[in-house]
Structure 1
Amino acid sequence: MRFIADMMLGRLARWLRLYGYDTLYGIKDDDEIVRIALKEDRIILTRDSALAERAKKLGVKVFLLSSNSLEEQIKELKNLGVEFRELFPPNARCPKCNGPIKPVPKEEVKGKVPPKVYELYSEFYVCQKCGQIYWPGRQWEEMLKMDRKLRGER
């Protein structure tokens, strides 16, 4: 499944990317969202019923979400058949730009991350599109906690 999320669903879009779903986000114009969804065979994610109805009339698949809560939105998507398996990595996409993230040898990030980070960690990932570097630090642990919560695990 490939998605395009409207402007109301930025947090959800970032999490879908972390779960490996190709998710476009940041397009403000509803007509453009519909055009891209049609052209690229993407499912529109929205809370806007008018956008949902217009898109459906044009043959676009739409998931109209009712909740404003990330946890509830994930539950709604699960009920619509979206699977949430392993979080970042190995299949994650960059939460910032939607590019694919790949593991890289530690040596490749030398001088590109703070010296203390380079010293403490041996596992690094780089977005193939924007170059953002990721490692399993404090934010990673927080993401894993949220992942367990979103997937209903203890």
Structure 2
Amino acid sequence: MRFIADMMLGRLARWLRLYGYDTLYGVEEDDEIIRVALEEDRVILTRDCGLAERAEKLGGRVILLGSNDLEEQVGELKRRGVTFRELFPPSARCPKCNGPIRRVSKDYVKGKVPESVYERYDEFYVCKNCGQIYWPGRQWREMLKIDKRLRA
């Protein structure tokens, strides 16, 4: 399942990417969201009743979310049959650009991350599209705590 999220759902879009879902975000115009969804067979995620109604009339698949809270949105998606698999690699996508993330050797990141990070960690990942480097540091641990709540 691939998604396109409207501009009200940026946080949800980033989390869906971390769960491995190909999720477009950043398209501002409703007509463009509908066009992309239909052309690329994506499910539209929105809180906008008008957008949902127009898209459905044109044959688009839509999940209309009622909440503005991330945990409640995830609950709504679960009730609609969306499964939340393993967080982060190997299936994760870049939360910034939606590109695939792959594991890289420690040598690959030498000189690209702070020296203290290089010395402290052995596990690194990089986005194939934007080059963003990830490692299991403090932010990663905080995201795992949020993940537990989202899966509950």
Per the TM superposition, whether the score is higher than 0.5 is yes
How much has 1:90 moved relative to structure 2? 1.2
> Where does residue 79 of structure 1 map in the other structure?
79
Looking at structure 1, the residues matched to 89 and 151 of structure 2 have their Cα atoms a distance apart, in angstroms, of 16
Where does structure 1 differ by over 3 angstroms across 4 or more consecutive aligned residues? none
How much has 1:104 moved relative to structure 2? 0.3
Q: TM-score, normalised by structure 2?
A: 1.00
- Unaligned runs of 5+ residues in structure 1 are none
> Where does residue 44 of structure 2 map in the other structure?
44
SS at match of 1:7: coil
Looking at structure 1, the residues matched to 58 and 109 of structure 2 have their Cα atoms a distance apart, in angstroms, of 46
> Where does residue 102 of structure 2 map in the other structure?
102
Identity %: 76
> Where does residue 127 of structure 2 map in the other structure?
127
Looking at structure 2, the residues matched to 131 and 97 of structure 1 have their Cα atoms a distance apart, in angstroms, of 10
How much has 1:85 moved relative to structure 2? 1.6
> Where does residue 62 of structure 2 map in the other structure?
62
Looking at structure 1, the residues matched to 22 and 120 of structure 2 have their Cα atoms a distance apart, in angstroms, of 31
Amino acid at match of 1:53: E
What count of residue pairs does the alignment treat as equivalent?
A: 152
Looking at structure 2, the residues matched to 89 and 104 of structure 1 have their Cα atoms a distance apart, in angstroms, of 11
> Where does residue 27 of structure 1 map in the other structure?
27
Q: TM-score, normalised by structure 1?
A: 0.98
Cα RMSD for the two superposed structures: 0.3
How much has 1:89 moved relative to structure 2? 1.4
Looking at structure 2, the residues matched to 85 and 23 of structure 1 have their Cα atoms a distance apart, in angstroms, of 15
SS at match of 1:13: helix
SS at match of 1:11: helix
Looking at structure 2, the residues matched to 108 and 141 of structure 1 have their Cα atoms a distance apart, in angstroms, of 23
